[in-house]
Amino acid sequence: MPARIRLAGHDDLQVIAEVRADAWAETYTGLLPEALVSAQLRRVPTVVRHLQGVLDEGGSLWLAQLDGAVVGHAYARASYQPDAPRALELSSLYLLRRAQAIGLGRRLLWTAIGDSPCQLWVLQSNERAIAFYRAAGFEHDGAQQELALSFEGAQEIRMVRG
């Protein structure tokens, strides 16, 4: 079984949260404070509860697998900001490094949002993710926001498509 994407259920949430923590370590080490990155493993129960809410509210959570192992996830939802430029927001897309650059991220993105107009927020210093989203048709619209104090002044930029 090479790569596949499937709808996730409640039984998948623990492993998704653990993979998310691993993806944080791979992606954000050197970009965000080390204490914040290392705290993600302790946050797994909180992430599980959040993802339970996504499913309980009727949201679709997509799971990426490579050779049978969970390697990422994605979900989109209605934009939560009243002045959002797009009604749909990609809320989460994480993929372990070993599953990147093989087309699985594009498939995961497509499964979560299709070709719908969409927005997302991405860490301004995450050049790899920005390039990935640009290749999928997203562009920075000029909006940015500073993250919480624990992020030590890190900035997110909003990217939009359609």
**The domain at 3-161 falls in which architecture?**
3-Layer(aba) Sandwich (3.40)
pLDDT of 108 higher than 80: yes
pLDDT of 122 higher than 90: yes
Q: Which of 74-83, 116-125, 135-144 has the lowest mean pLDDT?
A: 74-83
pLDDT of 69 higher than 80: yes
Q: Looking at residue 55, what is its pLDDT?
A: 95
CA 99 to each of CA 9, 51, 59, 70, 105: distance values in angstroms, whole numbers, following the listed order: 21, 22, 24, 10, 8
How far is it, in rounded angstroms, from Cα 157 to Cα 16? 25
Q: Looking at residue 157, what is its pLDDT?
A: 97
Q: What is the pLDDT of the chain when averaged over all its residues?
A: 95
**Model confidence pLDDT, tens digit, residues 78-104:** 998 889 999 999 999 999 999 999 999
- Write down the pTM of the prediction: 0.93
**Model confidence pLDDT, tens digit, residues 20-44:** 999 999 999 999 889 989 999 999 9
How far is it, in rounded angstroms, from Cα 73 to Cα 55? 13
The mean pLDDT of 98-117, rounded to a whole number, is 97
Report domain extents, the chain.
Answer: 3-161
Exposed / middle / buried, residue 29 (Cβ in 10 Å: 0-12, 13-18, 19+): exposed
**Model confidence pLDDT, tens digit, residues 144-153:** 999 876 678 8
